[in-house]
Amino acid sequence: MTMTTGDLIKRYREHAGMSQRALEEKIDLSQSSIVRIEKGDRQVKSYELSAIAAALGCPESSLMESHPRRDRVQYAARTNGDNTPDMTQVKEHLFFLLEMDTYLTRALKTLPPA
**Residue pLDDT, tens place only, 18-41:** 999 999 999 989 999 999 999 999
Proportion of the chain in helix, strand, coil states, percent, rounded to 5: 70, 0, 30
Taking only the tens place, the pLDDT of each residue in 51-76 is 999 999 988 888 887 666 655 665 55
Residue of 77, 56, 67, 74 whose CA lies nearest to 101: 67
Q: Alpha-carbon distance 43 to 74, whole Å? A: 25
Distance of CA 88 to the CA centre of its chain: 17
- The CATH superfamily of 5-63 is lambda repressor-like DNA-binding domains (1.10.260.40)
Predicted confidence (pLDDT) at residue 9 exceeds the cutoff of 80: yes
Domain extents for the chain?
A: 5-63, 68-110
For the question of whether the overall pTM of this predicted structure is more than 0.85, the answer is no
* 20 close to 31: Cβ distance less than 8 angstroms: yes
Predicted confidence (pLDDT) at residue 104 exceeds the cutoff of 70: yes
